């Protein structure tokens, strides 16, 4: 139960490759998909974790094997954050940045396409901030956590976005 059934180096390599591959895949998906997990999003996370577990574990069976994998994943999570903090150029690759969705009242359709946002979704997000007309927006950004932040032209504070109740 406490002895490793798979070589430790293999477990570390499997954990490293799987973690880094999933980080790259999630970066490609886009920012909006990473924030605000709903029920279907949670299901996707669980299914991805289950699908990745066989590749992570290989033939691993013991608690020690699982601990080595968890420690490897936690190491890479902290290591990527530390590298991004230390080297800003690396941070531009590894970390998502805010994307300007609205500039001086004009929608950026390229960002909308990249984030798979329809006009109705953008207007819905603005309404959550108490704004009914994009023309009153100086800047609106899709933040790295997937949320939309809004800066009004009149510099007034927009309403705090309302989090819809979960079913």
Mention every residue, 6+ apart, whose C-beta is less than 8 A from residue 70.
none
147 pLDDT above the threshold of 70: yes
State pTM to two decimals: 0.60
44 pLDDT tier (thresholds 50, 70, 90): low
CATH topology (fold) of 99-152: CRO Repressor (3.30.240)
Residue range(s) occupied by CATH 3.30.240.20 in the chain = 99-152
- Interatomic CA distance for residues 102 and 95, integer angstroms: 21
32 pLDDT above the threshold of 60: no
- Any bridge partners for residue 148, and if so which? 142
Q: Tell me, what's the pLDDT at 134?
A: 94
């Amino acid at each position: 139960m406490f002895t490793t059934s798979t070589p430790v180096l293999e477990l570390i390599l499997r954990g490293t490759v799987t973690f880094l591959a999933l980080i790259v895949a999630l970066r490609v998906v886009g920012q909006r998909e990473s924030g605000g997990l709903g029920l279907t999003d949670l299901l996707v996370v669980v299914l991805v974790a289950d699908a990745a577990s066989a590749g992570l574990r290989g033939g691993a069976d013991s608690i020690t094997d699982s601990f080595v994998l968890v420690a490897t994943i936690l190491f890479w999570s902290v290591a990527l954050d530390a590298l991004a903090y230390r080297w800003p150029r690396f941070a531009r690759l590894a970390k998502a940045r805010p994307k300007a969705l609205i500039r001086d009242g004009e929608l950026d359709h390229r960002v909308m396409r990249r984030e798979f946002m329809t006009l109705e979704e953008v207007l819905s997000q603005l309404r959550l901030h108490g704004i009914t007309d994009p023309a009153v927006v100086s800047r609106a950004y899709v933040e790295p956590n997937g949320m939309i932040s809004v800066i009004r032209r009149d510099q007034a504070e927009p309403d705090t976005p309302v989090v819809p109740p979960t079913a």
